[in-house]
Amino acid sequence: MLDLVLRGMLTLLEPVGFLWAGLVLLTGLLLRKRERRLAALSGGLAAAVWIIGATSLPGNILATLERPWVGVKRAELPEADAIVLLGGFGTPSREEVGRLHFNQNADRAVVALDLARLGKAKVLLVGGGGFTLEGESFAEADMFKAIVDERKLNPGEIISLGGCKHTRHEAEKVGKLAQERGWKRILLVTSATHMKRAAAVFRTTTGLEVVPAPGAFLTSASIVTVSTVDLIPRSHGFAKLDAYLHEQIGWFVYRRRGWISPEEAAR
């Protein structure tokens, strides 16, 4: 019981828990002063913070993007001309191996290497952003390639796409290589939440056959979790809501720019 109380107190010191507790306290003070309208506003905000940070609702919403890709068996995917690993799984670090810090999307890299191990393609293309650390320029793809090459983790050829600005930029570079080498089919590796938009962009931009190979699931659509409702809200729900809104806004922006064709949008 004491441990439970202590954990609850520590959670209240976290930014989301502290904000929620402040809103609850403010609501109580406003009600005491009979400021019902302001109390309703602060109470509504407190309720919203609790729902997002303490319930499974954000995860359930984000899972709608992941469920179409549940059950994809990598061993049964067709062979392709290349495996395309989209970036966003790491950032430069002063201390990590290869000076690359892997984030919550790191499963993308594991999936790509597993496809290569299974012999699904002889070429692995790696995308990702460009960064500057202490005045030195880095590309996520270059850093990952160096890690893989030095440890001989990939049985085939690995090509860095260099620093890319966004998914469309990665697709343009892959499309150029595909034309030069006569490729027809690629295995596309990215997070399950990002797969719909990424596949649509690649089909629109390159005209290639795109076979999705999802990874980096973030919700109970794939990850085994215990369904609980927390008493005090935390940040994980906000991160999931952020990931969902990022994809929805990204889809709208890409459609508006013409990076996703009407045919792909209707799929």
Domain 65-226+241-265 has CATH 1.25.40.420: no
Within 10 angstroms of residue 97's Cβ, the number of other Cβ atoms is 11
User: Inter-axis angle of helices 236-257 and 167-181, to 10 degrees?
Assistant: 60
Say whether pLDDT at 218 is over 80.
yes
- At 132, the pLDDT band (50, 70, 90 cuts) reads confident
Name the token pair of 249: 């806004």
What is the per-residue pLDDT for 131? 85
Please check the confidence at residue 8 and state whether its pLDDT lies above 70: no
Q: What is the mean pLDDT of residues 95-102?
A: 93
How would residue 12 be classed by pLDDT, with cut points 50, 70 and 90? confident
1, pLDDT greater than 60:
no
Closest C-alpha among 203, 204, 206, 197 to residue 175: 206
Task: Provide the pLDDT for residue 138.
Answer: 84
Is 70 exceeded by the pLDDT of residue 5?
no
| Structure confidence at residue 267 (pLDDT) | 85
Q: At 223, is the pLDDT very low, low, confident or very high (cuts 50, 70, 90)?
A: confident
Model confidence at 245, pLDDT cuts 50, 70, 90, reads very high
Confidence of residue 262 (pLDDT cuts 50, 70, 90): very high
Q: Measure the CA dihedral 82/164/249/107, to 10°.
A: 50
- Domain limits, the chain: 65-226+241-265
d(CA 85, CA 124): 7
- What the block records as the tokens of 14 is 């976290």
45 has pLDDT over 90? yes
Contact between 100 and 200 (Cβ < 8 Å)? no
pLDDT at 239 over 70: yes
- Lowest-pLDDT range of 112-116, 143-147, 224-228: 224-228
**Per-residue pLDDT at 128 exceeds 90:** yes
- What pLDDT score was predicted for residue 34? 92
Question: Of the given ranges (1-10, 24-33, 217-226), which has the lowest mean pLDDT?
Answer: 1-10
pLDDT of residue 224: 78
**Tally of CB atoms within 10 A around 166:** 17
CA-to-CA distance for 214 and 212, rounded, in angstroms?
6
So what's the pLDDT on residue 71? 95
Cα separation, 154 vs 117, in Å, equals 7
Interval 94-121 mean pLDDT: 95
SS3 string, 13-39, reads HCHHHHHHHHHHHHHHHHHHCCCHHHH
Strands ordered across the beta sheet of 185-189: 157-160, 123-126, 82-85, 185-189, 209-212
The answer to whether the CB of 232 falls within 8 A of the CB of 20 is: yes
- Please name the amino acid found at residue 231: L
Beta-carbon-side half-sphere exposure of residue 117 (alpha carbons within 13 Å):
11
Closest by CA to 243, choosing from 84, 107, 103, 61, is 61
Identify the band that residue 226 occupies on the pLDDT scale cut at 50, 70 and 90.
Answer: low
Alpha carbon of residue 6 to chain centroid: 33
CB within 8 A of 43, min separation 6: which ones? 23, 27
pLDDT tens-place string over residues 160-207: 999 999 999 999 999 999 999 999 999 999 999 999 999 999 999 999
Q: What is the mean pLDDT of the chain?
A: 93
CB neighbourhood size of 48 (10 A): 13
